[in-house]
Chain A
């Protein structure tokens, strides 16, 4: 068995980059408070990487830096670099909109727009100026199938998205995030507000999405991290404590604090 896994690994790694997102000595400040300390790590392409750690450890802050969502907050600054596919995302010449088009994001609380299901999905295309009905129709079906929602909503595409159930709304947000075919999918605790059945559906979905997208997921749920992720990073007080294969983190962690956290001694 281990041998088979090994071969699959090597096969996949041959096709993908292991440093698709490269974080180099990255520190981040909210006004005077330093919330991320000198993070250096590489996130591989078309894998699921999980960020775990107790609340306030900076994992969401780091995730929101990947698509520069933190720009909206006044008084933030950073040190170090983050490179996506070798491109510095803080490069002043880079247009943040073009970056965000390459990086989809799913939020902790599902946030469908007060529009129809259809308009929610095509939003990212519409703002990019795409109004061709045939293309949009195609994107809607593909995205909704991708988010395993097609069969449930295909008859109510033009009804308000706010009439969906909580789990459906979150999957709609995933469909929306993948509609524009981004390279990276950021998920900030996507299942924290969902019941176990909806959670299982989203997790199953992530397995399928992995072959097309590089996924980074922030989660508080240790089981979820073991179930879905290939690699896991443990953050504590703004520092990256340990980052390794998920299997190794959860079986033989090399750091005491990681072990304490995953065994539930704190956090």
Chain B
């Protein structure tokens, strides 16, 4: 019995002390919550943004069903008084124009009705209250065309290229459509090859002959005669090719599809206009998915059409990729060498400190300022000088004295060099002292030590800097508009014509593509899905580039696993 009385006096204060201590420990708990909320908020925003982009981006490729609406007599949505209206439902929203008299806020649907050639517009808002009924007719056809966007209608008859007429009721109708479609697509590619590649080559030769003739002047009649003869031969070649192209173009017009719009008009279209077709309300899940994949593929590998709102984004993908690579090639040696001098050779003091501050401030300069600098310095000064020295015969047409992928890459390199310098400095500084001393004690010079020991060990850190630089550079738009990005580039910066890598060429870029589609397009509503798809693609491209760099870094890290990183 004595034991409890013994313990109680000591137990009492101890438990109090414990409580007090416990309260003190929880004093910081609120901050833990705050910091975790900060992270959660950040994650929420990122996931939300990505979610919106992914959902909207993918829905572009998903072939939707088409609804045919029967409208009330007095509906404002009627086109030319027609009772019926068909299209894809793109959005359902509250009707902002609805009044209380109509019984409070009502809903309205945004319908993609296509047939811009017939209707003059691609979209129509329909009030829910105006709809009498809706069906999903199976015979509705979507035709992807070279011009005016999609057509939506019911096929009436197909006039095949051999003159046969096939009616939709015919079991061979669909296969006949497919065959003709394949034929015209193949023929279109052939025309493209003739006009772009072969005639393009002839033009290039003609141009250089023109320069040669100018250089020969009036003093060398034999040379001039030779050049003129060569020119005449090229002209003859050109005539042959042009004739071929004309004939193929004429063939494109022979097949015809007759179809009726949902609003009743009958229309005809040469099959050469058709890119693809499908019956959206007949598709099963599997067909729908394979069509989605096909659409994604088209988006990735084809050139854009119709002010970039249709077709693919391949030139922009390729341009962004090449630009980012060129930028990395330019920025890495530049930044690494600067950082090495700054960290290893420069005498640490006020001057070096202020250089470091200046470098960090450089990272905060608005990117458009770099664009203006790039235009003034790279394009006009450096490019102009190169032109007057090496491409004088082409002047006044500029070669390098105008925007081009090289100047873009250099401008971006300038913009991102602070990131690489800072990362390299950190990486170089964190190479263990013992390793440097070991190298010096072996009789290595300072440069040998840097080259053989410090730099290899710092490579993972340098790559980290490069990843950040690439992420910033690839997503940049403002400066690019000044130094070489265009809405539509006829050629790629890398192709099969000599000298293969055309550093002077203007190019397309995904970031600019987004801006152009979303804000410069004549029909921004039609371009909106492409904006999302392109954004998704740009993000994916940056992710892919980063992943590649991260994989490289991990491999090197394993190689140089020294515990320093």
Q: Please report A residues at the B interface, Cβ cutoff 8 Å.
A: 67, 69, 72, 74, 97-98, 100-101, 103-105, 107, 109, 111-114, 123-124, 126-128, 160, 162, 173, 176-177, 180
Contacts and interface: CB of A to CB of B under 8 A. Distances in A.
The 6 closest A-B pairs by CB, nearest first: A101-B443, A124-B442, A111-B434, A105-B441, A127-B444, A114-B560
B456 interface: yes
Contacts of B453: 113
B441 A109 contact: no
A100 B562 contact: no
Contact of B442 (A98, A100, A162): A100
Contacts of A100: 440-443
A160 B559 contact: yes
A103 B440 CA distance: 11
Interface string B539-565: 000000000000000000001111000
B445 interface: yes
Given A114-B457, A173-B438, 18 more contacts: A67-B441, A97-B443, A107-B434, A107-B437, A111-B432, A111-B437, A113-B438, A114-B456, A114-B559, A114-B562, A123-B439, A123-B444, A124-B442, A126-B452, A127-B442, A127-B445, A160-B561, A162-B562
Contact of A69 (B440, B457, B559, B561): B440
B454 to A, nearest CB: 11
A113 B435 contact: yes
A123 to B, nearest CB: 5
B448 interface: yes
Contacts of A109: 434
A124 B441 CA distance: 9
B435 A111 contact: yes
10 contacts: A97-B443, A104-B442, A107-B438, A107-B441, A123-B444, A126-B452, A127-B443, A162-B561, A176-B438, A176-B442
Central interface residue in A69, A114, A128, A177, by most chain B CB within 10 Å: A114
B561 A114 contact: yes
Contacts of B444: 97, 123-124, 127
A127 B448 contact: yes
A124 B437 contact: no
Contacts of B442: 100, 104, 123-124, 127, 176-177, 180
A152 to B, nearest CB: 21
A44 B212 CA distance: 82
Interface string B453-470: 100110000000000000
B344 to A, nearest CB: 11
Central interface residue in A72, A74, A123, A173, by most chain B CB within 10 Å: A123
Nearest to A107: B434
Contacts of B441: 67, 69, 100, 103-105, 107, 177
Central interface residue in B438, B439, B440, B443, by most chain A CB within 10 Å: B443
B128 to A, nearest CB: 69
Interface in B413-447: 432, 434-445
B559 A127 contact: no
B440 to A, nearest CB: 7
Taking chain B's interface residues, is the majority helix, strand, or loop, or is none over half, making it mixed?
Answer: helix
Contacts of A104: 441-442
B440 A72 contact: yes
A113 B455 CA distance: 12
Nearest to B562: A114
A104 B561 CA distance: 25
A104 B443 CA distance: 9
A247 B127 CA distance: 108
Given A67-B441, A105-B441, A176-B442, A127 B452 contact: yes
Nearest to B564: A114
Contact of B438 (A97, A98, A111, A180): A111
A107 to B, nearest CB: 6
Nearest to B431: A114
Contacts of A112: 438
A64 to B, nearest CB: 9
B101 to A, nearest CB: 80
A185 to B, nearest CB: 11
Contacts of B438: 105, 107, 111-113, 173, 176
B27 to A, nearest CB: 40
B434 A180 contact: no
Contacts of A177: 441-442
A173 B442 CA distance: 10
Nearest to A98: B443
Contacts of B562: 114, 162
A189 B180 CA distance: 86
Nearest to B433: A72
Contacts of A128: 443
B445 A97 contact: yes
Central interface residue in A69, A97, A113, A128, by most chain B CB within 10 Å: A113
Contacts of A123: 439, 442, 444, 452
A210 to B, nearest CB: 20
A155 B435 CA distance: 25
A180 B436 CA distance: 18
Contacts of B443: 97-98, 100-101, 124, 127-128, 180
Nearest to A71: B440
A100 B444 CA distance: 8
A25 B434 CA distance: 29
A111 B440 CA distance: 12
A160 B445 CA distance: 23
Central interface residue in B437, B445, B456, B561, by most chain A CB within 10 Å: B437
A48 to B, nearest CB: 19
Nearest to A163: B561
Nearest to B448: A127
A86 B559 CA distance: 44
A104 B437 CA distance: 11
B448 to A, nearest CB: 5
Contacts of B435: 111, 113-114
A87 B317 CA distance: 66
B563 to A, nearest CB: 9
Central interface residue in B436, B441, B456, by most chain A CB within 10 Å: B441
Contacts of A180: 442-443
A72 B449 CA distance: 13
Contacts of A101: 443
